[in-house]
Chain A
Amino acid sequence: MLYNTHVDLLTTSVATVESGSEPYTLVELVGEADVTNSDALREVLDACVAQQPRTLILDLSGLRFMDSSALHVILRANRAMDRQGGVVALASPRDPVAKMLRLTAADQLIPVYQSVSEASAG
């Protein structure tokens, strides 16, 4: 993963999970997602979307903070997936991130689950 600044503030890992009924792309976000790393996050999500998965799950359990710039990047990926007939799901947000999703009503646009397993089953 390439970042311009604050290399370790946000790390992402991407995996294709094939066990179970249908494969999905799982992206884990760890750290803090804000305007300083939102371009890098966009690159990661663009690359994931370009693979045209049916389901893209973002595991937010390791995310301490998300701001509106990061949210916009996620919403952008959601729109792209929607155009491709795919779906995005958010899993395991911590309280500050869950609040942010609720305040902005982003949780009305993208389903939010309490765990990755629930997200993959939903």
Chain B
Amino acid sequence: MARSSVHLPEPPRRSQPLPSPTNDAMYHTYRSDLSQVRALVLQQAREAGLAESRSNDLVLAVSEVAANTLRHTRSSGTLGIWHDDDEIVCEIRDSGTIADPEAGRRKPAPDASGGHGLWIVRQVCDLVELTSDANGTTVRMHMALRSPSPR
């Protein structure tokens, strides 16, 4: 069962910063090349030892969040990836704002014209942290490296 926490500010308070990544975090700025984003996630996930099926899940999740940068902003986004012995974390930062604190929590109808992206992220990731305010959005997706079975 995916755990997720949403730290959304009540306006006009600024959002709380998320804990800092490890010192050897990898960063990549993307504008429209999501294939490269996916390749980086897959490479890092494999290096961290994440199981193949779960690596594909993480690639899908990160790609969906990065796709939202393209869908909803005209700016670039930043991908950050780091891991320790226990988990791998992928972070997407962009200039967009997610206004709905319940974003991704309701399963859209299969035939819905939108809204699948964040829902998918919450389904496949072990933990999702999302902060969003007028200055931008940060989504952190966590996958435990040792997990009993894929979803």
Contact = CB atoms under 8 A, between A and B. Distances in A.
A105 B110 CA distance: 6
Interface stretch (A11-19, A29-37, A42-50): A29-37
Contacts, number: 67
Interface in A66-83: 67-69, 71-72, 75-76, 79
B116 A68 contact: yes
B63 A69 contact: no
A96 B60 contact: yes
Interface string B97-113: 00000000000101101
Contact of B110 (A32, A99, A106): A106
Contacts of A109: 110-111
A99 B64 contact: no
Interface residues of B, number: 25
Contact of A36 (B34, B59, B64): B34
A112 B108 CA distance: 20
Contacts of A71: 116
B38 interface: yes
B48 interface: no
A67 B67 contact: yes
B92 interface: no
Contacts of B64: 67-68
Provide the main secondary structure of the chain B interface.
helix
A9 B35 contact: yes
Contacts of B120: 68, 100, 103-104
Interface of B: 32-35, 38, 53, 56-57, 59-60, 63-64, 67, 70-71, 108, 110-111, 113-114, 116-117, 120, 123-124
Interface of A: 5-6, 9, 32, 34-36, 65, 67-69, 71-72, 75-76, 79, 95-96, 99-100, 103-106, 108-109
15 contacts: A34-B35, A35-B70, A36-B34, A65-B38, A67-B34, A67-B60, A67-B117, A68-B64, A68-B120, A72-B116, A95-B56, A96-B60, A100-B120, A104-B120, A105-B110
